[in-house]
Copies of this chain bind each other. A is one copy, B any other.
Amino acid sequence: MKVYSAEQLHTFCQKIFLKMGCALSDAIQASDILISADLRGIDSHGIARLMGYVRLWEQERINAIPKIKIIHETPSTATIDADKALGLIAAPFAMKLAIEKAKISGTGWVCVKNSNHFGIAGYHAMMALEQDMIGIAMTNASALVAPTFGLEKMLGTNPIAVAIPAKNQPPFVADFATTTAANGKLEIAQRKNESIPEGWAQDKNGHTTTNAHILKENGALLPLGSDREHGGHKGYALGSIVDIFSGVLSGASFGPWAPPFPAYIPLPTNMPGEGLGHFFGAMRIDAFQSAEHFKQNMDVWIERFRNTKPINNHQTVLIPGDPERIIELERKLNGIPVDDEVVKSIKLLTEKFNVEL
Residues 246 to 278 of chain A near chain B (Cβ within 8 Å): 248-251, 254-256, 272-273
Q: State how many copies of this chain the complex holds.
A: 2
B residues within 8 A CB of A46?
A: none
Binary flags per residue of A170-212, CB closer than 8 Å to B gives 1, else 0: 0010101111110000000000000001011000011000000
Determine the residue in chain B with the shortest Cβ distance to A154.
B308
Decide: A105 and B75 in contact? CB cutoff 8 A: yes
Decide: A285 and B249 in contact? CB cutoff 8 A: yes
B residues within 8 A CB of A181?
A: 230-231
Decide: A309 and B229 in contact? CB cutoff 8 A: no
B residues within 8 A CB of A273?
A: 297
B residues within 8 A CB of A109?
A: 106-107, 283, 287
Q: How large is the interface on A (under 10, 10 to 19, 20 to 34, 35 or more residues)?
A: 35 or more
**Which of these, B200, B240, B251, B256, contacts A174 with CB under 8 Å?**
B240
Decide: A231 and B309 in contact? CB cutoff 8 A: no
Instruction: Say yes or no: is A244 at the interface (Cβ < 8 Å to chain B).
Output: yes
User: Which residue of A75, A154, A288 has the most chain B CB atoms within 10 A of its CB atom?
Assistant: A288
**Which of these, B250, B305, B317, contacts A289 with CB under 8 Å?**
B250
B residues within 8 A CB of A243?
A: 301
Known: A77-B283, A197-B230. A289 touches B105 (CB 8 A): no
Known: A107-B107, A150-B310. A197 touches B75 (CB 8 A): no
Binary flags per residue of A221-257, CB closer than 8 Å to B gives 1, else 0: 0001110011101111110110111001111001110
Q: Bound complex: CA of A83 vs CA of B245, how far in Å?
A: 34
Instruction: Say yes or no: is A79 at the interface (Cβ < 8 Å to chain B).
Output: yes
Decide: A149 and B312 in contact? CB cutoff 8 A: yes
Residues 50 to 96 of chain A near chain B (Cβ within 8 Å): 72-77, 79
Instruction: Say yes or no: is A152 at the interface (Cβ < 8 Å to chain B).
Output: yes
Instruction: Say yes or no: is A162 at the interface (Cβ < 8 Å to chain B).
Output: yes
Minimum distance in angstroms from A140 CB to a CB of chain B: 11
Residues 283 to 330 of chain A near chain B (Cβ within 8 Å): 283-285, 287-289, 293-294, 297-298, 300-301, 304-305, 308-312, 315-318, 320
Known interface pairs A174-B240, A225-B230, A244-B298; 13 further A-B residue pairs with C-beta atoms within 8 A, sorted by A's residue number: A72-B287, A73-B106, A77-B288, A105-B105, A134-B249, A148-B317, A149-B311, A164-B241, A206-B312, A233-B320, A249-B289, A254-B297, A272-B300
